[in-house]
Structure 1
Amino acid sequence: MATKKKKTKLKSLSASRPHTVIPARSISSKATRTLIRSHHTLEKQRAKALTDGDGAKAETLRKQIEAQGGLENYQRASLLGQSNDRGGDSSRVLVEWLAPVLPMLKEQTANGQPVRMLEVGALSVTNACSKSRLFNMERIDLNSQAEGITQQDFMERPLPLDGREQFDIISLSLVLNYVPDAMGKGEMLLRVLKFLDAKKYPEGLKGYFASVFLVLPAPCVTNSRYMDEGKMEAIMVALGFVMVKKKLSTKLVYYLWRLEAATTKRSLGFKKEELRSGKTRNNFSIVLK
């Protein structure tokens, strides 16, 4: 009698992201994009193999990931993509969006009550948000690349005990798309709710906080079989957010979502359903059950 394969559940992001040290090297913008796409694809395939209980395939994919430099090279490619000659730092968009309330943010800081930001997947301590000195920054990443970035998996971060451990804004810049499975993406968004402090803000600031700065590759909403802009907005609204700002470029889509009231619904009912067909579509999806 055939034995049933044992399924392995990915309990955290770190379970899908290997740690490999590779000597630094300079690569072209085309090679950078290719490396990032390949890394994402292999990680998704490895996550599926683990979920299906196919340990042999998962190990083969792990070795392929290591052969191309693993997480270390992926992060290096991402950092190159953030350089000024490769399109720049995504957090500059957030600082630009907050321009109308900059005097208030500076006043908050001067009064010893700076806006608290949690930057998930931080790669640098010198991005626009850090250099602005408008925020009390806390930075985390699965594989810290610099002093000032705590090595931590957001999905395993202890939940806040009170408002003092919550944040006014959480940055998820090119983070959600890294989560290898659709349900994991939904779980990350649900977890974000617990880390945001929906307190009363001064007039002016309450139009921007508490919020999530969400950045995704544009094809996640413009060329996915299972996701489009309408569904993305429906998911965030169901979670209790309202859209404050949005910017769509050829490569990225930027959002600022303000938490109006965290959802209390037990079932959100967003499944992985095909919205658009076609061989050139990607499989980005978010599942909320």
Structure 2
Amino acid sequence: MGAKKTTRAPKSLSAGRPPMLHRPQKSISRKTTKALINKHHLLEKRKQQAIAKGDKAQEKLIDVELKALGGIERYQEASLQGQRHDRGGDSSRVLVEWLEPCLASRQAPQDGPLRMLEVGALSTQNACSKSGHFATIERIDLNSQGEGILQQDFMERSLPQDDSERFDVLSLSLVLNFVPDPKGRGEMLLRTTEFLHRPEHYPASSSSQTDKFPCLFLVLPAPCVANSRYLDEDKLSTIMSSMGYTKIASKTTQRLVYYLWRRTTDSLGLVGRFPKKEIRAGPTRNNFAVTL
């Protein structure tokens, strides 16, 4: 049975992004890059706490601090610097590594061209773009950093009308953590299912197709899963399973956690039964959560 469509308009992703301040791009040192990104995430955390408390004055003060840092554009500059090969960046390298065995076994033309949607794209020169495996890569971001990246909010993107508008791979790298509230994060994850092909789209006889596709690549700051009061690995897996996803790969570093989820069914399971509930106590925990 297919997913039941909701008539409530999803919240715009832009609601979770900080103010933008236009500045010319320039090189940022490794130390400055790390400090800026960490400060940005800390302010975002404090802002969400202020919003949860209804503290408008504190929220405005934090917005001023974010603007002083340079807003989302300065953060993106730092992220782009962090993606440089000599700094160990570009999360899409992990995606290509995970997909490589499957991609290498594909047989053209019977397996068909691969299409990818990259949400929160920062560059047209990342590992996926250079891999040569994708016939089409559509890149979108709230604040496009250049030609080849469409300025668009994923939550406001028109839903696909047929398979020609659906994708084999959808990437959400450091995007979900910018959604301002737990319910919005759940809506974003659920919305990804609308943009991926259905599992039956791939011929049963084609092992190269059915091994990994269709899939969602999800990257989050590691503390969102490792140190949250409301979310851990098991709960995230249960939430994703309820949407028809099966985890086929994961990797955790000091800063980030990477996941590859394969869409294995159209059926929705326990959607609507994931409230914000404390699963780990402690004063050092953060409040990152996903609800449905």
TM-score class, shorter-chain normalisation, is 0.7 to 0.9
The answer to whether the aligner puts 1:234 opposite 2:238 as a matched pair is yes
Return the alpha-carbon distance in structure 1 between the equivalents of residues 233 and 121 of structure 2: 26
Query: Residue 262 of structure 1 is aligned with which of 261, 266, 271?
Result: 266
What residue in structure 2 maps to residue 128 of structure 1? 127
What residue in structure 2 maps to residue 286 of structure 1? 290
Question: Residue type of the partner of 2:119?
Answer: V
Question: How far does the alpha carbon of each residue in 1:121-140 deviate from its partner, in whole angstroms, 9 at most, with x for none?
Answer: 00000000000111110000
What residue in structure 2 maps to residue 102 of structure 1? 103
Shift of 1:280: 2.0
Return the alpha-carbon distance in structure 2 between the equivalents of residues 252 and 119 of structure 1: 18
TM-score w.r.t. length of structure 1: 0.88
Question: Residue type of the partner of 1:234?
Answer: T
Q: Aligned ranges for residues 129-278 of structure 1 at < 5 Å?
A: 129-135=128-134, 136-198=136-198, 199-201=201-203, 202-265=206-269, 267-278=271-282
Higher relative contact order (CA 8 A, sep 6+): 2
Return the alpha-carbon distance in structure 1 between the equivalents of residues 100 and 11 of structure 2: 39
Q: Aligned ranges for residues 23-172 of structure 1 at < 5 Å?
A: 23-46=24-47, 55-105=56-106, 107-108=107-108, 113-135=112-134, 136-172=136-172
Question: How far does the alpha carbon of each residue in 1:104-136 deviate from its partner, in whole angstroms, 9 at most, with x for none?
Answer: 44x44x569311100000000000000011111
Count of aligned pairs between the two proteins: 278
Is the Cα contact below 8 Å between 2:231 and 2:289 reproduced in 1? yes
Is the Cα contact below 8 Å between 1:44 and 1:181 reproduced in 2? no
Shift of 1:44: 4.7
Is the Cα contact below 8 Å between 1:246 and 1:253 reproduced in 2? yes
Unaligned stretches of 5+ in structure 2? 1-8
Return the alpha-carbon distance in structure 2 between the equivalents of residues 101 and 23 of structure 1: 41
Is the Cα contact below 8 Å between 2:16 and 2:178 reproduced in 1? no
Return the alpha-carbon distance in structure 1 between the equivalents of residues 192 and 243 of structure 2: 10
Return the alpha-carbon distance in structure 1 between the equivalents of residues 269 and 276 of structure 2: 19
Return the alpha-carbon distance in structure 2 between the equivalents of residues 253 and 44 of structure 1: 18
Q: How large is the Cα RMSD of the aligned pairs?
A: 2.3
Question: How far does the alpha carbon of each residue in 1:255-281 deviate from its partner, in whole angstroms, 9 at most, with x for none?
Answer: 110001134357431122112222222
Is the Cα contact below 8 Å between 1:16 and 1:46 reproduced in 2? no
Question: How far does the alpha carbon of each residue in 1:7-28 deviate from its partner, in whole angstroms, 9 at most, with x for none?
Answer: xx99311133222212334333
Bigger mean CA deviation after superposition, 262-271 or 63-72: 262-271
Return the alpha-carbon distance in structure 2 between the equivalents of residues 52 and 263 of structure 1: 36
TM-score w.r.t. length of structure 2: 0.87
Shift of 1:245: 1.2
